Structure 1
C-alpha cells in the first residue's frame, strides 16, 4: 500500500480515502453518514426539493380530481358524505405514500452524483427517478405491510390494543430489516420483493447499527423541519414537509452505500 509522510510528529501513514463528493469512498461511521446527509442537503437541497415539488404536482392534480369527484358524489347521493370520506381518505393515504416513494427515488437518484461530486439539475433528478418510482413505491408498501400488517390485522378483527402490544418488537425488527429496501429498489433496479431480500442481506449483522442511524436521521429531520418552519413562516411551512421527506432518505441512502462498501468492497458508486 502506498504511504505518505506526515509532518505532525513525523511517521508514515496510509493515504486518505478519496473523497470526490459528500463522503469518502470507504466504510463510514455514523457521524459521517449523518454529516454526509446534511452535506448532501446543503449542496443539492434546492435541486432535490425542487424536483420533489415538481413530482408532487402530478399527484396533487390526481388527488384534486378524486376530491372533486367525491364532492360531486356527496351532492348527488344520499350516502354522499360517506362516499366522500371513503374515497378521499384512501386517496390521501396513497398520495402520502407516493410522496414518500418519490422522495426516496429522488434521494436514490442523487446518490451517484452526490458521492462522486457531479453536478445535477432538478429536471435531471426527476427524469432519473421517475422510472423507479413504481418499484420504490412497491418496496415501501411491502416493507410497511410486513412491519405493521400483523398488528393492523389484529386490531381490525377487534383485538384490544394491549393484546397487540407483543407484536411491537416484531414490527420494529421487520421495519429495520427492510429499511433499505426502497433504496435498493431504486439504486440496483430491483423489483419490490427482490429489494426486500436485498435489504435483509445488507442489514444482517448490522441491525442495531441500522437502527442507531435511521432513528437519529429521523430526529434530525424533525428538528430541521421545526426550525425551518419557525424561522421562515409560510415559506417554512412549505419547506418543512420536504425536509421531513428527503433528509431521512438521504441518510438511508448513505447508510445503504456504507453497507455496500462493507459487504461488497469491490463495488463502485459510479
Structure 2
C-alpha cells in the first residue's frame, strides 16, 4: 500500500480511505454514519420520495376500504365498534408494517450506488427494491414477534401492564439484536429467518452502538419533519415521509455495512453484497 509522509507526527501513514460517495470506504465512525444519512437524503431524497409516496398511496387503498366498511357499519348500534376493531385497526397496522418494509427496501437499494457515488433512477430503485419487500417485511415481522410477542401474549392473557415491566429489558435487548434483520434481508437476499440470524451475528459485540445509531435518527426525523411542516405547510408535509421513514433505515444500512467491514473485513460490504444492483441504469 502506498504511504505518505505526515509532518504533524513525523511518520509514514497510509493514504486516506477513498470516498467516491456519501461515506468513506472504511469502517465508519459516528460522524460518518450520521453524516452519511444526511448526505443520502440531500443527494437522493427526491428520487427516494417518488417511489415511497407511490407505495404509500397504494398501501392506503386497503386502509381506505376498511375505513369505508367501518363507517357503513357504524350506522348500526351494535356492529360499528366491532367492525372498527376487526377491520380498520388491523388494516392500519398492516399499512404501517408495509410502509416500514418499503422504506427499508428502498434504503438498501439507494445505499449501494450512493456509497460508490453512482447515479440513481426511480425505475432502477423500484426494480431493486420491490422484489425484496416480502423478505424485508417477513424479517421485520419476525423481529417484532421475538421482541414484543411474549409481552403481547401476556397482555392478551389478562395480566396488568405493570406485571410486564420485567419483560421490558429482554424485549429491548432482542429488538436491538435483531434491528439489522430487514437490512440484511434486502442486502444479501436472505430469507426472514436467515436475516434474523445474520443480524444477531453482526450486532453481537456492538449492542450499545447499534442501539444509539438506530435510535437517534428515529428521534431526530420526527422533529425535522415537523419543522418542514411548520415552515412550508402542505409541501413540507408531503416531504416529511422522506425523513420519517428512510432516515432510520438508512442509518441501519450504513451500520450494517460498517459491521460487515469490522467483523469480516469485507471491502465489498458497501457496494457489492446481494441482489439489488439494478438500482443503477
TM-score scaled to structure 2, two decimals? 0.90
1:38 aligned onto 2:38? yes
Correspondence 1:1-270 to 2 at 5 A = 1-6=1-6, 11-74=11-74, 79-268=79-268, 269-270=271-272
Deviates more, 1:188-197 or 1:85-94: 85-94
Tell which has more relative contact order, 1 or 2 (C-alpha 8 A, sep 6+): 2
Deviates more, 1:186-195 or 1:212-221: 212-221
Q: Does the 8 A contact of 2:69 with 2:83 survive in 1?
A: no
Q: Post-superposition shift, 1:56?
A: 1.6
Q: Post-superposition shift, 1:4?
A: 1.9
Q: Does the 8 A contact of 2:17 with 2:26 survive in 1?
A: yes
TM-score scaled to structure 1, two decimals? 0.93
SS in 1 for 2:63: helix
What's the C-alpha RMSD, in Å, of the aligned pairs? 1.9
1:142-177 deviations in whole A, cap 9, x for unaligned?
111111111111111111111100111001100000
Aligned equivalents of 1:223, 1:7: Cα separation in 2: 44
Segments of structure 2 that go 5 or more residues without pairing to the other structure are 273-281
Q: Post-superposition shift, 1:38?
A: 0.7
CA gap of 1:127–1:72, structure 2 versus 1, over 3 A, is farther
Q: Post-superposition shift, 1:25?
A: 0.8
1:171-220 deviations in whole A, cap 9, x for unaligned?
11000000000000011001111100000000011111111211222222
Aligned equivalents of 1:103, 1:219: Cα separation in 2: 17
SS in 2 for 1:15: coil
Aligned equivalents of 1:55, 1:150: Cα separation in 2: 32
- Alignment coverage as a number of residue pairs: 270
